Amino acid sequence: MNPAFEMLQLQTRRHFLKSGAAGLGGIALGTLFGRDGVAAPGTVFNPLTARQPHFAAKARRVIYLHLTGSPPHLDLYDYKPELVKRTGQDCPDDFLKGKKFAFTTGVPKLMGTPRKFEQCGESGVWLSDAIPHLKGVADEMCVIRSMTTDQFNHAPAELLLLTGSARQGRPSLGSWTTYGLGSENENLPGFVVLISSGVQPNGGKASYGSGFLPSVFQGVQCRSKGDPVLYASDPPGMNRDLRRKTLDAMRDLNELQAEELGHPETLTRIAQYELAFRMQSSVPDVMDISREPKHQLEAYGAKPGEASFANNCLLARRLAEQGVRFIQLFDWGWDFHGTSPAEDIRDGLTRKCETMDRPIAALIRDLKQRGMLDDTLVICGGEFGRTPFQEGRTAANGIMGRDHYPDCFSMWMAGGGVKGGVMYGESDELGFSVARDRVHVHDLQATILHQLGFDHTKLVHRFQGRDFRLTDVEGEVVHSILKG
């Protein structure tokens, strides 16, 4: 194992003290402090320096497509002919006993999908007519139809999925990844967040925050319209030379404070200021999709100057090419209760899927064509599933929607050493529970970290007297979906 990474795992307090400079006065190195808070003599370390994991990784980077609100999996990935046959019947009492639902009371009516399903690709993966473009990359997809979670409300479920805890304050998956692996580009953040539909995630910034890890590992939100990163531009009247002199003076003052008080965030702040200075040149370049050829823009459905999920998918590929370790896309608008026509699983779902189906399929093809899919893990899904019955509040109207459902749902992955053309796990014939090969969200987290080269039980950080990890005290790697 890389000795520097081994030391990174053991530390409980992190102090990044300047011991050298690279380019434009940037902080290049730092000193690691061990469990007792004493500096390890002669040990130097940059918080975002690329590091080796526990073992050889199958994936070098992750692109995580989080569909905020949770898409109706029964209308996209998990075909239930028996449920279709029994549409309109009362939900069996056995499935309701002891259950709580977000908005449904009484005895709801079973509701099979109105969508048309077919087996796609050489592998025969079942996909619905709502996602016609994804049908073309079915042989790259590993659809997990036996996901389960412990939470049935959006924010807690999203936090559990992305941070390992239903409460705020834990580091996110992207933060754990950059904490363990660092970054492959010193001029860009290791963890970039792109948000479409103009709405923050349900869990707020905690869904991509660093929790108790140093803040240098938190997700940096970039925008596809306007300034790529807020507040990174020079103020009016300040040129780059003056900015450099200002940062040098601030660095000196921060280092004096760090030596006096020993607070790790002081030197994290130095590292972030220096990264922001370098980003002023590098970020506008990588975020400018107008540099892409016309056929590529058309493939994604991307339009330079706009803010869209399509633009963000194309940006994800560009960021991955530049060595960004973890790219997280959040897209709002997948909460299909049926309280308005936009939330109807017929026309409403068709229109919403049009915003994601084409760009995600283009992203998969683009990564594969560039030889990047093998070592890029693409993940797509929401925070929980949707009920096999019609949502209680909308049962009397003509709009078809589904309530929140934690017991069984679907997600999919592609690339990064995961088998393609696979349907893993199974729900029962009505879609109420996992019938085979249950995958808890902690199992998914363990599997993602495994593909990045980590034993999830050993990627830990000591905080307030105990060692924490993303998977808490649970999680098993799902080896059956992984290539040998």
pLDDT value of residue 358? 98
**Average pLDDT for 301-330:** 95
Q: Poorest-confidence range of 75-79, 222-226, 291-295?
A: 222-226
Q: Could you give the C-alpha distances from 409 to 74, 99, 423, in angstroms and in order?
A: 8, 16, 13
The token pair at 256 is 């004096």
18 or 407: which leads in pLDDT: 407
pLDDT at 11 over 50: no
Report which of 68, 404, 306 is spatially closest to residue 204, judged by C-alpha positions.
68
Element (H, E) at 243: helix 240-261
Residues 443 and 378 sit within 8 Å (Cβ to Cβ)? no
pLDDT at 363 over 90: yes
pLDDT value of residue 264? 66
Name residue, tokens 């904490």.
179
- Average pLDDT of the chain is 86
Angle between helices 173-181 and 441-451 (to 10 degrees): 20
Q: Poorest-confidence range of 74-78, 127-131, 196-200?
A: 196-200
The token pair at 91 is 């939900």
**Average pLDDT for 103-121:** 95
Query: pLDDT band for position 24 (50/70/90)?
Result: very low
pLDDT at 325 over 50: yes
* 306 CB neighbour count, 10 Å cutoff: 12
pLDDT value of residue 287? 84
pLDDT value of residue 286? 83
**Average pLDDT for 337-341:** 94
Longest CA pairwise span in the chain (Å): 72
pLDDT at 26 over 60: no
Query: pLDDT band for position 243 (50/70/90)?
Result: low
pLDDT at 283 over 60: yes
143, β-bridge pairs: 412, 423
pLDDT at 180 over 60: yes
pLDDT at 246 over 90: no
Query: pLDDT band for position 285 (50/70/90)?
Result: confident
Residues 134 and 357 sit within 8 Å (Cβ to Cβ)? yes
Alpha-carbon span 383 to 202, nearest angstrom: 10
Whats the size of the chain, residue-wise? 484
pLDDT at 236 over 90: no
**Average pLDDT for 67-87:** 98
Query: pLDDT band for position 252 (50/70/90)?
Result: confident
**Average pLDDT for 1-22:** 34
pLDDT at 292 over 60: yes
The token pair at 404 is 């929140």
**Average pLDDT for 134-144:** 98
Report which of 464, 459, 473 is spatially closest to residue 57, judged by C-alpha positions.
459
pLDDT value of residue 199? 87
**Number of helices (H), then strands (E), in the chain:** 11, 19
* 87 CB neighbour count, 10 Å cutoff: 16
The token pair at 323 is 């060595």
Alpha-carbon span 397 to 3, nearest angstrom: 63
Please classify residue 42 by burial: count the beta carbons closer than 10 Å to its beta carbon, then call 0-12 exposed, 13-18 middle and 19+ buried: exposed
pLDDT value of residue 279? 60
pLDDT at 31 over 50: no
pLDDT at 152 over 50: yes
Query: pLDDT band for position 251 (50/70/90)?
Result: confident
Q: Poorest-confidence range of 64-68, 186-190, 226-230?
A: 226-230
Alpha-carbon span 112 to 399, nearest angstrom: 14
- Phi, psi angle pair for 451, to nearest 5°: -65, -25
% of the chain surpassing 70 pLDDT: 81
Report which of 158, 9, 156, 58 is spatially closest to residue 457, judged by C-alpha positions.
9
pLDDT at 15 over 50: no
pLDDT value of residue 424? 98
